Amino acid sequence: MEDYLKEQGYENDINEQRLHHEIYMSDARKVAPEKWKTVIRHPIKKV
């Protein structure tokens, strides 16, 4: 991911105030583990 960000003119923007976010699209109580879906939002910034 680091290489791709660099190629596109971005860099990671994770610090003590800005962390990644996980959004769980599936209810773990109702869906089989192999069908779980999660969106991960990773902060980046333009260089």
Provide the residue-wise pLDDT of the chain in tens; the chain has 47 residues.
Answer: 999 999 999 999 999 999 999 999 999 999 999 999 999 999 999 99
Work out how many domains the chain is built from and give that number.
Answer: 1
Closest to 37 in 3D by CA, of 2, 4, 27: 27
Structural domain boundaries enclosing 29? 2-46
CA distance 6 to 38: 25
- The region, left, alpha or beta by phi > 0 then psi within -120 to 50, assigned to residue 17 is alpha
CA distance 10 to 29: 37
Whether pTM > 0.75 for this model: the answer is no
CA distance 12 to 33: 30
| pLDDT value at residue 45 | 96
Q: What is the CA radius of gyration of the chain?
A: 15
